[in-house]
Amino acid sequence: YFSEQSIASIASFSSGQLLAVFNNGSLEMANMSDIVTFSPELEFGSVQSGDLIFLEKYAFPPAFGTIAESAAEAPSTQKTDVNTDSDKVSDVALTGVWYVSEGASFSFQPITGADTLTLGNGCVELAYEGEAADFNSLISPSGDTVVSVYNRMPVWLNARAAQKLDLSDGDGLKESFYRLELYLRQEGLTNNSVHVWLSGLETENVGHTVEKVGSSWEKHQFIFVLGQKNPKSEIWLNLGFSGQGSLWLDHVWFGSTQDEQDSLPQSLNQQLTKISPEVLRLDFVPIGVPGMGDYSWLYPEGGGSRLSAFLSSEAPETDTSALTNTSASPGDERELHNLGAALKMTLQVDADAWLVVDSMVTDLELYHLIEYIAGSPTSEFGKIRSAQGAVGRWSDQLDRIYLEIQDSSGVFDNDTSRMIFVNHVIETIQSAQDYSLLENKIVLVDGMDYDSQILASNADYHAAELHGEDIIENYGDMRSTLSDFLLTVPTRRVLGGSNAPEIIKSFDWQSKIESLRLADYAALVFGEAGDRVNLVLIDAGPDLEKTSNIYSAICLTGRELSSKWALAPAEETVILGEGETENAADTEAYGETAADNPEETAAKDEQEKLLIFSFTAQDLRTVVLINLGDSNISMRLGGKTAIVSGEVYNYDARASLLAQDEIKSSRHIYRVMPGGIAVLVEKPAVSN
């Protein structure tokens, strides 16, 4: 519009208008508009006035250069010669992104034909046309040149791509054997061979040469033997060739030989197996997440990150800023994980899957999601499922699937729009061709944050977050925390006039002063179990033995409570004081029949440090004893609450299993450590 005129400045207004100031002093206003096309086209219906349409912009942080339609050579800029120590190299060389040797080019290329089912729609091309260059110089994603004394290129090679491995996650490389997998094809290489090698600080150059690389895609695997490397080591993965020509790469994967390319890390699987959860919330798999793009859940496992376009202009500078020419806070970058890999892990740890659908999901994507889970192996997304390693339908292998609808980015600004979106997603899912195969297995969950106290959507449950901090000192602290939480969640009346139970989809409790005890977690997790809360999902933290033990103890208790009804508080509980005999305590406890003052009783209850929760099914009970105090408690259950036969699991404050004893008598004495819990599981008596 303004192309043929000399403009001094131009500004935009929130109304959508542009103001142009010309060099001759004149002003002109113009309306800014967009033309929106639907891809794929609308299959039915039409866009009406008042319809809500979402537009999103997203992008991968480029692994190199700039994403463009045509192949672009890596830029040449100022050289930084780094030859002192690895720490300074780390300041310049980014980890997890590809560098290209000077004189070569690295560009995105499309994939067409039958190869798209295996490889997707894109790959990268490493090309060299004989340009003279310093082959030890590597062009970084931001255009700078890095020269590392720990990563020299062999003299017989002319072009290479290199990536500095990220060793910061965990304790570095802890295994001895690592595997590299990738797809290769070439055109015009001088001797049709490709060399792959590792180099770096404290690492001898070890490599493999692939002879006779063909012009069609072929998968290659290499094994590398390494000593253990600490996080401060510097290791580079390199791939290069001699002479001129082009080499195409795709699905490049490097990891421990214990791991698989299409699976999540085996170490995570082992940790979850130890904890043994009943449900896994797979919110790390992006389905309809703003800024992540459609079908992100289908990308190969370990496919990197995406940077949301919903960025703050005041966000701090980060390492990814150079890749995108913009500033982004760490929370704006999110990893991509494959749904098939997540479901495979869920099956391996014998848990139910919890999927999360976000506000940018499309109707077509929902249809394809159901087809991917339950569709025929001959359907389009059934073939993709099989290509990603699944054996049969996921719906046949999973006992239950939770599907949550949420709005993580606050796209909807009022309760009505939130409710309409939830109901629309539910109706779309239920109209999918393969929904009948899921109908008896799927649980639809409304994960929206509502302003009002009424739940009006058609979901089976509502789910909310319970986050907080500080030690739980007594019954009053527990009751206050849970009551405040339940006041913030929307309710829906069910048969009998009671409120529908809630699900806690994210439980995260911390303490800034002192370490939390197992009892603090247990009091909040089980405080409303079987009453107002039906399911609690605990956020997984760092892989610390203490934290893992707490998860394991909580999950074991949860399994024992599963499918049982909560009972009213026990009427008779015998507490054995220090130095008392069982008989003396017995007589004293049963002799107390006088009623206390109601106000005194309520105040006393608030300060109570021993919590007892009872659950039953088929005349078998599970009782959870929680000691919030600082001293040991010895006790037994009397009257109708006594357990004649069963097992007791005794945990301390750090969730270490101190004992697993058999209950043989109703007069069994139970001891609960300070900050610990005891789980009593009733078993059928031998006489029964």
What per-residue confidence (pLDDT) applies to 326?
32
Q: What is the pLDDT of residues 558-617, one digit of tens each?
A: 999 988 888 876 555 666 655 554 443 343 333 333 445 666 666 667 889 999 999 999
Q: Letter for the amino acid at 676?
A: G
Please state whether beta strands 565-566 and 533-538 pair in parallel, antiparallel, or not at all (unpaired).
unpaired
Tell me the C-alpha distance between 539 and 548, whole Å. Answer: 11
Q: Where are the beta strands (DSSP E) in 201-234?
A: 203-210, 218-225
Superfamily (CATH H level) for 266-560: Glycosidases (3.20.20.80)
Are 280 and 551 a contacting pair, CB within 8 Å?
A: no
Q: What is the pLDDT of residues 61-82, one digit of tens each?
A: 444 433 333 333 333 333 444 4
Token pair, residue 148, equals 């590392």
What per-residue confidence (pLDDT) applies to 265?
84
- pLDDT category at 259 given cuts 50, 70, 90 is confident
Measured at the alpha carbon of residue 508, what is the angle toward residues 507 and 512, in degrees to the nearest 5?
155
pLDDT at 308 over 90: no
**What's the CATH number of domain 79-256, 3.40.50.720, 3.40.50.10680, 2.60.120.260, 1.25.40.10?**
2.60.120.260
Q: What is the pLDDT of residues 644-656, one digit of tens each?
A: 999 999 999 999 9
Tell me the C-alpha distance between 289 and 578, whole Å. Answer: 57
- pLDDT category at 334 given cuts 50, 70, 90 is confident
Token pair, residue 461, equals 């449950």
Nearest alpha-carbon partner for 298 in 380, 411, 397, 409: 380
Domains 266-560 and 573-682 share a fold: no
Q: Which range has highest mean pLDDT (223-227, 268-272, 418-422)?
A: 418-422
In degrees and rounded to multiples of 5, residue 372 shows phi and psi of -65, -35
Token pair, residue 441, equals 């297995």
Residue listed under structure tokens 């979106």: 421
What per-residue confidence (pLDDT) applies to 54?
67
Helix, strand or coil, per DSSP, at residue 108: strand
Please classify residue 15 by burial: count the beta carbons closer than 10 Å to its beta carbon, then call 0-12 exposed, 13-18 middle and 19+ buried. Answer: exposed
More confident: 131 or 543: 131
pLDDT at 434 over 50: yes
Helices in 455-592 by DSSP H: which ranges? 475-488, 518-526, 545-561, 582-591
Q: Integer distance in angstroms from the first to the last C-alpha of the chain?
A: 89
Nearest alpha-carbon partner for 609 in 631, 577, 624: 631
More confident: 659 or 308: 659
What Rg do the C-alpha atoms of the chain give, in angstroms? 31
Please state whether beta strands 646-651 and 633-637 pair in parallel, antiparallel, or not at all (unpaired).
unpaired
What per-residue confidence (pLDDT) applies to 473?
93
Token pair, residue 614, equals 């009872």
Task: Specify the range with the lowest mean pLDDT, choosing from 200-209, 300-309, 372-381.
Answer: 300-309
What per-residue confidence (pLDDT) applies to 592?
37
* Cis preceding linkage at 40, omega within 30: yes
What per-residue confidence (pLDDT) applies to 332?
54
What per-residue confidence (pLDDT) applies to 571?
57
Average pLDDT over residues 155-175: 80
Tell me the C-alpha distance between 679 and 46, whole Å. Answer: 59
More confident: 243 or 11: 243
What per-residue confidence (pLDDT) applies to 387?
87
Helix, strand or coil, per DSSP, at residue 73: strand
pLDDT at 335 over 60: yes
Average pLDDT over residues 525-547: 82
Q: What is the pTM of this model?
A: 0.77
| Residue 208 β-bridge partners | 196
Order of strands, sheet of 7-12, starting from the edge strand that comes earlier in the sequence: 7-12, 17-22, 27-31
Helix, strand or coil, per DSSP, at residue 359: coil
What per-residue confidence (pLDDT) applies to 563?
87
What residues does each domain of the chain span? Answer: 1-33, 79-256, 266-560, 573-682
Are 194 and 213 a contacting pair, CB within 8 Å?
A: yes
pLDDT at 331 over 60: no
Residue listed under structure tokens 């014998």: 350
pLDDT at 357 over 70: yes
Three-state DSSP string of 369-417: HHHHHHCCCCCHHHHHHHHCCCCCCHHHHCCCEEEEECCCCCCCCCHHH
Measured at the alpha carbon of residue 83, what is the angle toward residues 174 and 130, in degrees to the nearest 5?
95
Mean pLDDT for the chain?
81
Average pLDDT over residues 520-536: 93
Share of the chain above pLDDT 90, in %: 42
- pLDDT category at 445 given cuts 50, 70, 90 is very high
Token pair, residue 253, equals 């994967």
Task: Specify the range with the lowest mean pLDDT, choosing from 60-64, 182-186, 515-519, 590-594.
Answer: 590-594
What per-residue confidence (pLDDT) applies to 74?
38
Tell me the C-alpha distance between 235 and 227, whole Å. Answer: 12
Task: Specify the range with the lowest mean pLDDT, choosing from 12-16, 288-292, 447-451.
Answer: 12-16
What per-residue confidence (pLDDT) applies to 575?
66
CA torsion sign for 629, 635, 640, 642 is positive
Q: Which range has highest mean pLDDT (321-325, 580-584, 638-642)?
A: 638-642
- pLDDT category at 41 given cuts 50, 70, 90 is confident
**DSSP label at residue 227:** -
In degrees and rounded to multiples of 5, residue 305 shows phi and psi of -130, 160
Q: What is the pLDDT of residues 465-489, one digit of tens each?
A: 999 988 899 999 999 999 999 999 9
Please state whether beta strands 218-225 and 177-187 pair in parallel, antiparallel, or not at all (unpaired).
antiparallel
Q: How many residues does the chain have?
A: 688
**What kind of fold does domain 573-682 have according to CATH?**
Immunoglobulin-like (2.60.40)
What per-residue confidence (pLDDT) applies to 176?
79
What per-residue confidence (pLDDT) applies to 253?
87
Token pair, residue 222, equals 């290499």
Share of the chain above pLDDT 70, in %: 79
What per-residue confidence (pLDDT) applies to 235?
86
Tell me the C-alpha distance between 7 and 3, whole Å. Answer: 9
